[in-house]
Chains A and B, each alone.
Chain A
Amino acid sequence: MTEKKQSAEAMEPDVHKKIKAAFKAFDYESNNKVDVREIGTVIYSLGCFPTQADLHDIIAGVEEDHTGYITLDKFLPAMTKVLLEHKFPPIPEDLLLQAFEVLDKEKKGYLEPEELTKHMTQEGELFTQEEMEEMLTALADHEDNFVYYKDLISQLTIDPDM
């Protein structure tokens, strides 16, 4: 346990640099501020897989009341903690596969767009119509419009950082 803690501390400067780099990409005016609506992208891009609820919690902890912006000062320590504690680890491929299989009740091996749309827009942390359209454009097969999830998972899962 001590070892893990030690190595975590040693990794801190590394982690800081990573967070700053991701933050900077959305800091358009170079004033160490990022629009709260884009901070989700920053957090995701650091390799975390929070739910929307998790995101809201993080944001609530760092947002500058009512300005609509998040400053680096507050974001850095909060995000560092998240990363060092591996709070929102990536989803293992097999778990993801199981999730798709749950939705694919008939065990067809693919999901029809209507099926997927129903689940994504009516259950869980609902997708907006825009998000749904984008997902289908990205994931559905060109010809038959079905979502062959098995192939997608291996294509789209990324390597964990660190």
Chain B
Amino acid sequence: MGCGVSKSDQFHKSSSKAIRSAILIQRWYRQYVARTEMRRRYTWHIFQSIEYSGEQAQIKLYNFLGYLMDNFTPASNERNLISHIFRENDVCRDAEWERYFCYKNIEVPEIYSGPHLTFPLTVEQAVGLVEAFRNKKQLHSRYVLQLLLETWKQLRMLPNINRISTCQSKEITICGDLHGQLEDLLLIFYKNDMPSLENPYLFNGDFVDRGKDSIEILIILFSFLLVYPSEVYLNRGNHEDHIINLRYGFTKEVLTKYKMHGKRILKLLQKIFSWLPLATVIDQKVLVLHGGISDTTDLAVLARVNRHHYVSALRPPKKRHQSSASLSIDLDMDEDIWSPNKMFLRRKSFTFLKTVPRDSFQNRSLQDFSDRIKVDEVEICRRKPSISNPATGALENEAATSVSSESISSQSGIDEWKQILDLLWSDPMNQDGCVPNEVRGGGCYWGPDVTEDFLNRHNMQLIIRSHECKQEGYEFCHNRKVLTLFSASNYYDVGSNRGAYVKLGPDLVPYLVQYQASSMIRELTVRQSVGRTERSALKVLREQVFAHKSDLICAFKTFDSNNTGLVCLNDWASAVESVMHLGLPWRMLRYQLVPCKTNGGMIDYHEWFNELAIKGPSADHIDQSLLETLYRHRSTLETIFRIVDTDNSGFITIQDFRQTWKLLSVYLKMEITDDTISDLVVTIDRNQDGSIDIDEFMEAFRLTDKKSRLERGRSMFMGTATDLTKLEGDPNI
């Protein structure tokens, strides 16, 4: 047999075998690459959905609180708890401000080893600050306050829209979102040198929140702004906003790092944020702003607004002169109260009983908004108005509320507000047109036709914006007329994305530079880092799903009328989306989320929850479904606590604690009796001293999954106390 086979036959045979093998391997590998690409896409989608739904939730909460503010009696306790976040600061004159923030009384102790600053600031000091922060030093609060005061003075002189030009060979470097990630800023300075007369920079907003070194980033940026006022430019981002900071970590970071003076620092920052310029135009041809545009964006209007009136972009500034008409209430609370359209419309026209006379309105209490709440008789009595004279009641009421309630009387006021909101919150979309951005809850989605029209109208050629995380650190869209730039690498997780900055010379052709912080990344292959990020996203998603267990089981039951405990894949996917509202490709995620074997193509949903193997939050004598609801809304809960904690001590009184629950229960349309609250208090106030440690309370609601606690690093998705590295807080700072 052997000699019958010629050499050439043998050669062909083995060769064709090799070819077939090669084809097989190529097939297999290409399939693998495609699957990985799909996984990468939906992993991204998961992180982004959860991130944006968090932003939406914050806006929702803020609008809810604003709504309560508009409708509570002046004397009510709830109002006092939350009014301070609506209180605008322009009642103080500048001189008063300087006194309030006087740093001169603050002594720097001998033992302090951080940098010392003298003003006017020099380049060496600015560079020194970068070095100090690289070495994990903290700047003393005296210097922080001094720096902030100087920054405020500087910012006040700037126009709403910076106008700069690239002359001769000066290239300007533009950076996107940094989100408190100092490592990325240091990396940028390393690759691109620090700002100088020959090296101008523009930072496009979102310097703070989520990352753990937001204040250090601000200090660095402000220092360079003071040292090189003509070479360093800052645009405001949607996170330069104290309301957003309450939820996303900046407030907490400052209060933790600066235990004694943190509150003052935050107050001063509120003012500074409002004075940040809104946009920058380069060579009259390139527009740089944080979010984007809408079909009504008008640079002429934006150039004229009083930008510092918008302390928070989520709320238009109050007017001193009052609007007349009674504030009636839109009872349609659960649908769309957060939607941007309703946000403007709400001010103009409400639909509640127009015949309600003003003074009976004063009797409105929480109970009227949500008739499912059982409120003590005592509570209702407490809410009787303290204004005795009904004749002047209305006027007094107005005067009393003028400080903190808001009323937009003019259409132009609303238009102005919309301009700023759009600028800070909008995202581009691929379809033509312009629609409200309901995913985030603010701004709009704008299409290529809007870009085209805008650029033509203003005779420009390019829009550079940030606001959205991109895998490669940047992304062009709208026929390369819009460039998204994001400078926080590894934003969602280690290995999730690169950061980028852009260099723009006189030719105005963007030159992009990418980077990725953390040396660990470079050693991971692309596939490995996709896998890692994917695992992280799925873990987050599993927790979210678990937090909605009761609602999910209800939803499954609607598809399972025979109570078999099984649902088919289609129904599973529909049910999950109807509860979670994340718009994710659930079918694709099914294998990752539901590891148990299918029962003939059906999913056993009870077994699924058992397998998720996450122990529920502890506290056995509390109703499980209540705990679950609280767990789901823990970020909101913590935000409300931080609002209620007016002296920022980290503690709230039992009384305020009860009031918080009332607030939350109305917001969630949830019944919660006084007994239930008492039970919670007993659980939490361990030392029975009448005050509750916020962090300790939030701790009770963490899921007790050991593994996830260890791996949990970023505060973004959890928003609970222990995620930020707790600095013990040097008392000397």
Residue of B nearest to A41 (CB): B34
List, in ascending order, chain B residues with CB within 8 A of A96's CB: 24-25, 28
Q: Are B591 and A21 in contact (CB under 8 A)?
A: no
Selected contact of B431 from candidates A13, A30, A45, A120, CB within 8 Å? A30
- Bound form: Cα–Cα A30–B430 in Å: 8
Question: Which residues from A are CB-within-8-Å of B23?
Answer: 51, 123-125
Segment at the interface with B among A57-65, A67-75, A97-105: A97-105
The answer to whether A14 and B35 have CB atoms under 8 Å apart is no
- Interface assignment of B103: CB less than 8 Å from any CB of chain A: no
| Chain B min CB distance to A93 (Å) | 10
B587:A49 contact, CB within 8 angstroms:
no
Task: Look across to chain B and name the residue whose beta carbon is closest to the beta carbon of A153.
Answer: B28
Contact of A123 with B18 in the complex, beta carbons under 8 Å: yes
Q: Within the complex, what minimum Cβ distance (angstroms) separates B45 from chain A?
A: 8
List of A residues within 8 angstroms of B26 by Cβ: 51-52, 120, 124-125, 127
A142 vs B524: C-alpha distance when bound (angstroms): 9
Check if A120 sits within 8 Å of B25, measured CB to CB.
yes
In the complex, the answer to whether A18 meets B587 with C-beta atoms within 8 Å is yes
Interface residue total, chain B, C-beta cutoff 8 A = 37
Q: Mark B86-115, 1 if CB is under 8 A from A, else 0.
A: 000000000000000000000000000000
Please determine whether B523 and A142 come into contact, CB atoms closer than 8 angstroms. Answer: yes
Residues on A with beta carbons closer than 8 Å to the beta carbon of B430: 28-30
Q: Check if A21 sits within 8 Å of B585, measured CB to CB.
A: yes
Are B585 and A49 neighbours in the complex by a CB distance under 8 Å?
A: no
The number of residues on chain A lying at the interface, defined by a beta carbon within 8 Å of a beta carbon of chain B, is 47
Residues of chain B lying within 8 A (CB to CB) of residue A156: 32
Is A14 in contact with B588, judged by CB distance below 8 angstroms?
no
CB distance from B88 to the nearest CB of A (A): 41
Q: A45-B37, A124-B26 are in contact. Are A99 and B21 (CB under 8 A)?
A: yes
B573 partner residues in chain A, CB cutoff 8 A: 17
Contacts of B525 in A (CB 8 A): 137-138
The 8 Å CB contact of A25, one of B17, B32, B568, B585, is B585
User: Is B27's beta carbon under 8 Å from chain A?
Assistant: yes
Contact A21 B18 (CB under 8 A): no
Cβ–Cβ contact A123 & B526, under 8 A: no
Question: Does the CB pair B18–A51 fall under 8 Å?
Answer: no
Give the residue name and chain of the A residue nearest to B32 (CB).
A156
Give bound CA distance, A158 to B568, whole Å: 22
* 0/1 string, B14-41, CB within 8 A of A gives 1: 0001111111111111111111011001
A137 touches B35 (CB 8 A): no
Tell me the smallest distance from the CB of B687 to a CB of chain A, in Å.
52
User: Is B321 interfacial (CB 8 A cutoff)?
Assistant: no
- Do residues B41 and A25 form an inter-chain contact, with CB atoms below 8 A? yes
A103→B570 contact, CB < 8 A? no
User: Are A99 and B24 within 8 A (Cβ)?
Assistant: yes
B22 touches A40 (CB 8 A): no
CB closest residue in chain B, given A27: B430
Residues A17 and B25 in contact in the complex (CB < 8 Å), given A44-B34, A45-B34, A119-B18: no
The reply on A151 being an interface residue by CB < 8 A is no
A123 partner, pick from B22, B27, B32, B588, beta carbons under 8 A: B22
> CA–CA, A127 to B27, complex, Å?
10
Which residues of chain A are near B24, meaning CB under 8 Å? Answer: 91, 95-96, 99
Q: Which residues of B contact A95 (CB under 8 A)?
A: 24
Q: A3 at interface (Cβ–Cβ under 8 A)?
A: no
The residues in B between 560 and 598 inclusive whose CB is less than 8 angstroms from any CB of A are 568-570, 573, 585, 587-588, 591
Q: Which of B205-224 contact A (CB under 8 A)?
A: none
Closest residue of chain A to B14 (Cβ to Cβ) is A102
Interface string of B171-203 (1 = CB under 8 A from A): 000000000000000000000000000000000
Given contact pairs A14-B570, A137-B526, A159 touches B591 in the complex (Cβ within 8 A): yes
Indicate whether A135 reaches chain B with its CB closer than 8 angstroms. Answer: yes
B527 at the interface (CB under 8 A from A): yes
Tell me if B42 counts as interface (CB < 8 A to partner A): yes
Q: Which residue of A lies closest to B585 (CB)?
A: A21
> How far is B570's CA from A13's CA once the two chains are assembled, in angstroms?
9
Interface check A22, CB cutoff 8 A: yes
Bound CA span A138–B38, Å: 16
Does A134 contact B526, Cβ atoms closer than 8 Å?
Answer: yes
With a CB–CB cut-off of 8 A, which chain B residues contact A138? 525-527
Q: Give A41 to B28 CA distance when docked, in angstroms.
A: 13
Which residues of chain A are within 8 angstroms of B431 by Cβ–Cβ distance?
A: 29-31
Question: How far apart are the CA atoms of A139 and B33 in the complex, in Å?
Answer: 12
- What chain B residues lie within 8 Å of A113 (beta carbons)? none
Complex interface bits, A39-51 against B, C-beta within 8 A gives 1, otherwise 0: 0111111001111
The contact string, 1 if C-beta is below 8 Å from chain B, for chain A 97-132, is: 011101100000000000000011001110100010
Per-residue 0/1 for B605-637: is the Cβ within 8 Å of any A Cβ (1 yes, 0 no)? 000000000000000000000000000000000
Contact of A14 among B31, B41, B569, B591 (CB under 8 A): B569
Bound-state CA distance A98–B28 (Å) is 13
Picked from A21, A28, A48, A102, the residue with its CB within 8 Å of the CB of B588 is: A21
Instruction: For A100, list chain B residues within 8 Å (CB).
Output: 21, 25
How many angstroms from the CA of A105 to the CA of B53 in the assembled complex? 55
Please give the distance in Å from A34's CB to the nearest CB on chain B: 13
Query: Which of B29, B523, B585 sits near A135, CB closer than 8 Å?
Result: B29
Give residues of chain A (1-41) contacting chain B, Cβ–Cβ below 8 Å: 13-14, 17-18, 21-22, 24-25, 28-31, 40-41
Q: Are A103 and B41 in contact (CB under 8 A)?
A: no
Q: Which residues of B contact A127 (CB under 8 A)?
A: 26
Q: In the complex the two chains form, what is the Cα distance from A29 to B430 in whole Å?
A: 5
The docked-state distance in angstroms from the alpha carbon of A43 to that of B24 is 17
| Docked CA distance A14–B603 (Å) | 14
| CB closest chain-A residue, reference B587 | A21
Taken together as a complex, chains A and B put the C-alpha atoms of A115 and B335 apart, in Å, by 63
Give every chain A residue within 8 A of B37 (Cβ-Cβ).
41, 45
For B18, B31, B33, the residue with the greatest tally of chain A CB atoms inside 10 Å of its CB is B31
B15 closest partner in A (C-beta): A123
Cα separation A44 to B37 with both chains bound (whole Å)? 10
Q: 21 A–B contact pairs at CB < 8 A?
A: A14-B570, A22-B38, A42-B34, A44-B30, A44-B33, A49-B31, A50-B27, A51-B27, A95-B24, A98-B21, A99-B22, A119-B18, A123-B18, A124-B23, A124-B26, A125-B27, A131-B33, A134-B33, A138-B525, A138-B526, A138-B527
Contacts A25-B38, A103-B18 known; 19 new A-B pairs at CB < 8 A? A17-B573, A17-B587, A18-B587, A21-B585, A25-B42, A40-B34, A45-B38, A49-B27, A50-B27, A51-B23, A91-B28, A102-B18, A103-B21, A119-B25, A120-B26, A125-B26, A138-B526, A156-B32, A158-B35
The 5 A-B residue pairs with the shortest CB-CB distance in the complex, in nearest-first order:
A44-B34, A124-B22, A99-B21, A124-B23, A45-B38
